[in-house]
């Protein structure tokens, strides 16, 4: 995406000692960055707070991540907000998260309008509470005409379920005579996934130090660079984001070949 140089420079003023905007090459930022936002609970526990307050603080970090992505000119920012396994959490926490997703989305719609951000979701939304589903639908409708950055929220998302669903859909199309099984290749398969039409993430960031994929974008992350930070999600700020981009730009990407 094109950036507004003046806004970007102002946004990254007051840099800490170890990182600055000049440490990244704005002509080589990844098109798609994806984030596994982890550590809200531990952030809260470390402060003697309820886990729910960690999630509330996580919303502020997410808003900053969206703004940072726009200022850096990413095409896509995607984040893992709720997995198919997260339903196993205490009912109270699940309810709180679903309500937080809905209220946050309504509250942040002006930001999406202001920054020309288009919303998108990865996951099966039909299983969500009506309040959350309706607000997501509204968010999709209201931002459908925006042609700036795409912001994708993975909610009730699981990668294995996504891949199985794609296989089932293709099988049904083959049985109906709409698809020749011999024509099924990686591109056609990818077109059945929630990420259809988006570039694969070039950079995956995971906060709070865990070294796991947790059933996230297994297909799409085939050649993605990983960046793991010990920082808990609520403390992940624009400077952490810049450190991740700088680290990414220092990597040599070979896609299985040699350079
Ligand atoms: C991981 O922390 C975080 C989540 C499962 C929820 C993510 C939600 C937010 C960041 C809130 C804002 C999101 C939106 C879309 C409005 P954890 O609970 O797994 O932390 P822990 O590993 O320390 O227990």
User: pLDDT tens-digit profile of 112-152?
Assistant: 999 999 999 999 999 999 999 999 999 999 999 999 999 99
pLDDT at res. 244: 98
**Domain housing 89:** 28-158+200-248
Domains in the chain, number:
1
Q: Which residues contact 10 (CB under 8 A, 6 or more apart)?
A: none
pLDDT at res. 228: 98
Edge-to-edge order in the sheet of strand 32-36: 118-122, 150-157, 76-83, 32-36, 203-206, 225-228
Which residue's entry shows tokens 């050649």?
Answer: 223
Q: What is the DSSP string of 128-169?
A: S-HHHHHHHHHHHHHHTT--S-EEEEEEEE-HHHHHHHHHHH
Residue from 146, 143, 124 nearest 133 by CA: 124
Q: What is the pLDDT of residues 183-236, one digit of tens each?
A: 999 999 999 999 999 999 999 999 999 999 999 999 999 999 999 999 999 999
- Is 63 inside a domain boundary? yes
Q: Rounded to whole angstroms, how far apart are CA atoms 19 and 240?
A: 9
The pick from 35, 36, 38 for probing ligand 1's pocket by mutation, whose C-beta has the most ligand atoms within 8 angstroms, reads 38
Which residue's entry shows tokens 């502020």?
Answer: 60
Flag whether pLDDT at 255 surpasses 90: no
- Is 122 inside a domain boundary? yes
Q: How far apart are the first and last CA of the chain?
A: 27
Q: What is the pLDDT of residues 106-117, one digit of tens each?
A: 999 999 999 999
- Is 121 inside a domain boundary? yes
pLDDT at res. 256: 82
pLDDT at res. 175: 98
What DSSP state is assigned to residue 180? -
Ligand 1 neighbours by CB, cut-off 6 Å: 37-42, 55, 58-59, 62, 81, 86, 97, 100-101, 104, 153, 233
Closest ligand 1 atom to residue 55 Cα is 11
How many A from CA of 82 to the centre of ligand 1? 7
- Is 8 inside a domain boundary? no
pLDDT at res. 258: 74
pLDDT at res. 259: 64
Global pTM? 0.96
Average confidence (pLDDT) over 172-182: 98
pLDDT at res. 252: 79
Flag whether pLDDT at 73 surpasses 70: yes
The pick from 233, 234, 235, 236 for probing ligand 1's pocket by mutation, whose C-beta has the most ligand atoms within 8 angstroms, reads 233
CATH number for the domain that contains residue 114: 3.40.1180.10
Closest ligand 1 atom to residue 79 Cα is 15
Which residue's entry shows tokens 């056609």?
Answer: 188
- Is 57 inside a domain boundary? yes
Q: What is the pLDDT of residues 77-93, one digit of tens each?
A: 999 999 999 999 999 99
Average pLDDT for the chain: 97
Average confidence (pLDDT) over 50-56: 97
Closest C-alpha to ligand 1, atom 6:
81
- Is 254 inside a domain boundary? no
Q: Are 71 and 7 within 8 A, CB to CB? A: yes
Q: Rounded to whole angstroms, how far apart are CA atoms 26 and 73?
A: 8
Q: H helices of the chain, where?
A: 5-11, 40-46, 51-72, 91-114, 130-143, 159-175, 186-190, 238-249
pLDDT at res. 115: 97
Average confidence (pLDDT) over 237-248: 98
- Is 163 inside a domain boundary? no
- Is 187 inside a domain boundary? no
How many A from CA of 98 to the centre of ligand 1? 11
Active site residues: 38, 86
């Amino acid at each position: 995406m094109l950036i507004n140089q003046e806004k970007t420079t102002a946004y990254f003023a007051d840099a800490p000692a170890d990182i600055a905007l000049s440490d990244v090459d704005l002509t080589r930022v990844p098109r798609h960055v994806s984030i596994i936002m982890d550590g809200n609970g531990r952030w809260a526990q470390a402060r003697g707070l309820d886990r729910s307050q960690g999630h509330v603080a996580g919303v502020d970090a997410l808003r900053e991540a969206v703004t940072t992505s726009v200022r850096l000119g990413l095409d896509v920012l995607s984040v893992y907000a709720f997995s198919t396994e997260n339903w196993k959490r205490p009912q109270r926490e699940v309810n709180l998260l679903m309500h937080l997703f809905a209220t946050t989305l309504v509250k942040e719609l002006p930001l999406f309008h202001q920054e020309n951000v288009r919303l998108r979701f990865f996951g099966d939304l039909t299983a969500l509470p009506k309040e959350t589903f309706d607000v997501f639908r509204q968010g999709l409708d209201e931002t459908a005409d925006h042609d700036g950055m795409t912001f994708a929220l993975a909610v009730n998302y699981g990668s294995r379920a996504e891949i199985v669903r794609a296989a089932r859909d293709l099988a049904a199309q083959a049985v109906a005579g709409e698809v020749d099984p011999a024509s099924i290749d990686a591109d056609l398969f990818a077109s059945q996934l929630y990420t259809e039409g988006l570039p694969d993430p070039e950079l995956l960031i995971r906060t709070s130090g865990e070294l796991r994929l947790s059933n996230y974008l297994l297909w799409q992350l085939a050649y993605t660079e990983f960046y793991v930070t010990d920082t808990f999600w609520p403390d992940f700020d624009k400077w952490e984001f810049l450190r991740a981009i700088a680290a990414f730009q220092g990597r040599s990407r070979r896609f299985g070949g040699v350079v």
